[in-house]
Structure 1
Amino acid sequence: MSVTQPQVLLVEDEPAQREVLAYNLEAEGMAVQRAENGEEALLLVAENTPDLVILDWMMPLMSGIEVCRQLKTREDTRHIPIIMLSARSEEVDTVRGLETGADDYIVKPYSMRELMARVRTQLRRTRPAASGRALTYEDITLDPERHRVSRAEQEVKLGPTEYRLLVTLLEKPGRVLSRDQLLDHVWGRNIYVDTRTVDVHIARLRKALTKHGGSDPIRTIRGAGYALG
């Protein structure tokens, strides 16, 4: 019942640098999507919301600054942490990047160890279960270290898929997640599963969470998906 992989969108127009970064991110246990320009990056975000974006400033077609601005002004993507990479080392450039909405700014050339540390720091905000932190919502508690779930201090028995579904919902309480988003986060991008499968496992999760009493904590948003609370 492992926690689902953090999903990182890597936006870098230099092929060699992109592959080196992707290799190191995947070695850290992350699922990496690659984009070579800003327009492609925005399309990929629209298809599947990542947990983190690593974004090069200087790119063809659309600059990293413009990609960052667009993501941070949209309600559905403003929560995604963005690490900006740039050869611009002047203070005014750093300030501009951060004021545009970047959550962190790293000047090239950089230490890969430092970049990975900053990636982990940002992911702790959006994927706390991946760092071993317990997740709670009202009377529901999930302990990823021991793979245990309880509600009102009574243990809840879950299958592997229901466990991963609950992790995903607990990490984003209140946010509506579409069936496609849940498929990507829980089953993975490269596995074909019918969206109706999500409904089946949500029903099983609901049954397990309400077995000992208590109201159903999962909302169904018609035509949109599901949300916790």
Structure 2
Amino acid sequence: MKIIKYILAITFIGGGLQTVFAQTPTQPSPTPKISETVAKNLEQATNKTPVPRERREQAYAKLLEGQRYIWNIYRSRSQTGLANTVRLAKQSLQKAVELDPTLAEGYTALAELTSPYDIDEAILLAGIAVKIDNNNYGGHFILAQLYTKKSEINRGVLDTSFAQKAIVEWKEIARFDVRNAEAYAFLSEFYARTNKPEERVIALRNWVSAATPSGNGFYGRVFKGENLSPENASLK
């Protein structure tokens, strides 16, 4: 199970799918919102109803099937092919959470697939993932990114409600990885814009001592021209 979670983390998280979808903007054919069909799953998960081993195994099989479709997304050379592959991936993942409503990774993957088209739906799905398992890194990372987008931090007028939610989620990322430069970079930006100078100084210090990332990630896409190097933190 740990191996599967690790594979899913490196497959779904980090904005790779966002890049693919950005290159092929046509949205897949409309389907009912996943949230509209997930209520019974949530009820079962909330009631802690034990999921039989056979169903858990079937759910993981569907989860891996969905993963294979997601890998194929990167190979899609047409908008039609992309839309079809996304549809198949969603079907597999929806079946996975239907079989095992407590499978947090299934909701995380669905949130990642949904986020380029419906941010609010993706937030709901990622929220389900972290509600089931608060240590679900992928769910927290997706929420951190989407709340950051909703905060309009790079547009001049900050939405303080979403800014506070983003702060909570970036702090979660820092909890998972105490040397995560991106988490501290975003925290420093949010603290600067919410008039919290002491917290900002702490975030900047943590950023300086964080591991140097290989790229600028989501931070570089939000703040064009900015980078995550420790030197950049020192200049702030």
TM-score (norm. length: structure 2): 0.30
